[in-house]
Chains A and B, each alone.
Chain A
Amino acid sequence: MSADSTTLAFDTSCKIFVDGGCGFQAPGLHSFVFEPLFTVGGFEFNKPMLLALLSTLVLGAFFWKAFAKPKVVPGKLQMVAEAGYDFVRKGIVYETLGKKEGEKWVPILVSIFFFVWMMNLWSIIPLAQFPVTSIIAFPAGLAIMVWLIWMTLTFKRHGFVGGLKNLTGYNKELGAVLPLVMVIEFFSNVLVRPFTHAVRLFANMFAGHLLLVMFTVATYFFMNGLGWVYAPVAFVLVCVMIAFELFIQAVQAYVFVTLSATYISGALEEAH
């Protein structure tokens, strides 16, 4: 958040065409490490945590303002919030789970969507400029939660054996290959899915942030002497990347929720 040199991921004195020379410091893993803002008894509170909590605050305030005292004839804010709510409810949940089964899962999936989107959005919000979801812990937490829901639901709906059949894609007609299929399916469904679920979001935001930092640092790096000729090119790319990220952030939030809904619908579907 602050411009304190200890929290910046690159050396501000390093520019092109500076006497004594210094190369371009490409962003890397270190761009995702933050010095703690403060420490309470060994617990280090850092910027992503702050942004995560701010997401809660922003979403809470927004939806409170929009929905706490709703009107039948909506105001502007309520209309916008309703549009977002309806988009997730009808566009994702009802589409995937159906209206009857889906109704129960609307609140959690709506929450996931807006929470993920907000955490992604920090990437391009001035001063914050960091997608919280590019720290694997945040998407992982949500993915684990969805996985737990999915597993619980599977066994609750089909019983232990039925649940296992559901997860392993049990199908008598496969005959001799059945054991192999079951192993692969189990591995793919139960173990790989939560991982890919989290990593898909994490990696997208991670890469996006890396690109943004790269062009931003490059712009800064070029701002010296003849470098001023190149700086605008890098800056245009920063702008393009911001627009692109804006799109990706929404898409990834959408994908994350759609996958969650699909997993839940897999647990609910009848055994075959």
Chain B
Amino acid sequence: MNLLQIAAEEKMNPLVPPMPELIIGLVAFFIVFGLLAKKLLPTINKVLEERHAAIEGGMEKAEAAQIEAEETLQQYKEQLAEAQREANRLREKAREEGELLKAELRAEGQRQRDEIIAAGHTQLVADQKAAALSLRQDVGRLATDLAGKLVGESLEDHARQSRVIDRFLDELEAKATADATTEAAR
């Protein structure tokens, strides 16, 4: 009751601000304000900006890395395509070279075959001539022997004999040739 009486005596009005409190309150506030405004908030703002920059920087770095990775991928792709083209080119070249080689070999073979055939042919003609010559002599000799036996007279005169045979054979040959010619003409 004591305090109640004091309050009543002072006729306190809760809406009338007492001066000392007003001043103390404002002083207390301005100390806080001064500290925050002059020192602490600028400091923290700087750090907040730094952090913001760091985050932005990190993002930029990540972006740069992404771009680089894409570029590298592009390069690899190009190199791969280049390598493929190169391989194709080499394969094509090899194929062409192979064909050329094949053609050369074929030509060479052809040439050798022709040579062999020609050589064979020459040989054949020579053999034929030799055979004809030897045949002519044999035939001459046999015919002479036969004629000698038939006629009963030794055809001693070799030279004459030989002439006769040759003439005979020539006639024979001429006849054969004439026959062949008439045959061909006909």
Contact = CB atoms under 8 A, between A and B. Distances in A.
A237 interface: no
B66 to A, nearest CB: 24
A32 B54 CA distance: 52
Contact of B17 (A72, A85, A106, A140): A140
A67 B17 contact: no
Contact of B36 (A72, A82, A107, A137): A107
Contacts of A233: none
B150 to A, nearest CB: 143
Interface stretch (B19-27, B78-86, B98-106, B162-170): B19-27
Interface in A101-118: 106-108, 110-112, 114-115
Interface stretch (B37-45, B117-125, B174-182): B37-45
B35 A135 contact: no
B127 interface: no
B4 A30 contact: yes
Contact of A199 (B15, B47, B51, B54): B15
B32 A59 contact: yes
B10 interface: yes
Interface string A258-270: 0000000000000
22 contacts: A32-B12, A33-B3, A33-B7, A48-B21, A49-B24, A52-B24, A53-B24, A56-B31, A63-B36, A68-B39, A70-B44, A72-B47, A72-B50, A106-B41, A111-B37, A112-B29, A115-B28, A115-B29, A136-B15, A137-B19, A141-B17, A202-B15
A53 B37 contact: no
A55 interface: yes
A11 interface: yes
A52 B25 contact: yes
A229 interface: no
A63 B24 contact: no
Contact of B28 (A11, A52, A66, A112): A52
A110 B7 CA distance: 36
A24 interface: no
Interface of A: 9, 11, 25, 28-30, 32-33, 43-44, 48-49, 52-53, 55-56, 59-60, 63-64, 66-68, 70-73, 78, 81-82, 85, 106-108, 110-112, 114-115, 132, 135-138, 140-142, 145, 199, 202, 206
A9 to B, nearest CB: 6
Contacts of A60: 31-32, 35
Nearest to B22: A137
B61 to A, nearest CB: 16
Main secondary structure of the interface of A (DSSP, over half): helix
Q: Which of B23, B28, B43 has the most CB of A within 10 A?
A: B28
A163 to B, nearest CB: 25
Given A33-B10, A68-B43, A140 B22 contact: yes
Q: Interface size bucket, B side?
A: 35 or more
Nearest to A199: B15
Interface of B: 1, 3-4, 6-7, 10, 12, 14-26, 28-29, 31-33, 35-37, 39-41, 43-44, 46-48, 50-51, 54
A113 B160 CA distance: 163
A108 B36 CA distance: 8
Nearest to B49: A72
B44 A137 contact: no
Given A67-B43, A137-B25, A108 B14 contact: no
A-B pairs, 7 with minimum CB distance: A137-B21, A107-B37, A137-B17, A30-B7, A70-B47, A138-B25, A111-B33
A73 B12 CA distance: 52
Given A60-B31, A115-B28, 17 more contacts: A29-B7, A29-B12, A32-B14, A33-B6, A48-B21, A52-B24, A60-B35, A67-B40, A68-B40, A82-B48, A107-B37, A110-B36, A135-B18, A135-B21, A137-B25, A140-B22, A141-B26
Contacts of B24: 49, 52-53
Q: Which of A110, A137, A138 has the most CB of B within 10 A?
A: A137
